[in-house]
A = this chain, B = another copy of it.
């Protein structure tokens, strides 16, 4: 039986993560226990620093997707708990290194680990979590899972380097931007959902379907993240608002505002992205230009496209709580304001 395709935004209420949170609540307790257990070390600084970020919250979208994918595949074992924790460790390691690379000061409304513990410790504990994630995968023992996650890790770090190379480059195109977020963000979403099908011993086609769901969802999430950094309507994000602007990151709201802008506006963007205009007034001006050309909305529209692709990718799976929760998660990715 094939699920109905639920078109985006036809709900009476705003889409939320509540269904996927409910679906995965028990499993996430098990995953969180693995995370807490495996971030321990005989070196006290390691759990202290890792715990600073891990206790700081975050939606834990990636391990939740592994669990939701497993539910969609009607998997009733427990192997995916360790693997979901491994996925979260890869993500956590990436966040720690990102904050060092960007010199960030805030994440999820808290001081970043690099500010509290310094760059050296943050780099090294990131390395530790990364190695710990591989230990968890090796314990599981599936070479297929190891291949998917080691490849995703490699693609993520390529994407991170690519993003660094594009920084302060005003000529960055939408295509290059999509390639960067496809690597740095969507590759781990894709791997996280795909491994659920592997653990459940489903067909290659089902693996691909879950991977496609995850990849498109990841792109949608990143697009909306990047939109919110310039959205005058959005609530305060956990990260410092305007960080992307000050760091000269070429995200889609800027790429489109530059493309659609007048000559004078383009000169402003050139100066700003090169780092010559980073005051609060400059940020306010940037937000006003983005509002003028409606590029936050345009970015959200792009996200809607990828979210719909995510939903269609799993259309072949049976209707039910897991399917409905994954559809609504994709709708949430587009509609969210935080």
Q: Which residues of A contact B (CB under 8 A)?
A: 41-46, 93, 97, 100-102, 119-121, 123-125, 127-128, 130-132, 134-135, 137-138, 141, 143, 146-147, 150-151, 153-154, 156-158, 160-162, 164-165
Contact = CB atoms under 8 A, between A and B. Distances in A.
B101 A161 contact: no
Interface of A is mostly: helix
A157 B113 CA distance: 17
A135 to B, nearest CB: 5
Minimum-distance CB pairs A-B, first 7: A131-B154, A128-B157, A101-B120, A131-B153, A134-B150, A127-B157, A124-B160
A291 B131 CA distance: 40
A83 to B, nearest CB: 14
Contacts of A121: 161, 164
Contacts of A134: 134, 146, 150, 153-154
B131 A43 contact: no
Given A97-B124, A101-B119, 14 more contacts: A41-B158, A44-B165, A45-B165, A102-B120, A120-B164, A121-B161, A128-B157, A131-B153, A131-B157, A134-B146, A134-B154, A135-B147, A141-B143, A143-B143
Contacts of A41: 158, 161
A203 B295 CA distance: 64
Contact of A154 (B128, B157, B161): B128
Contacts of A93: 127
Given A138-B146, A146-B146, A147-B138, A124 B161 contact: yes
A300 B302 CA distance: 64
A56 to B, nearest CB: 20
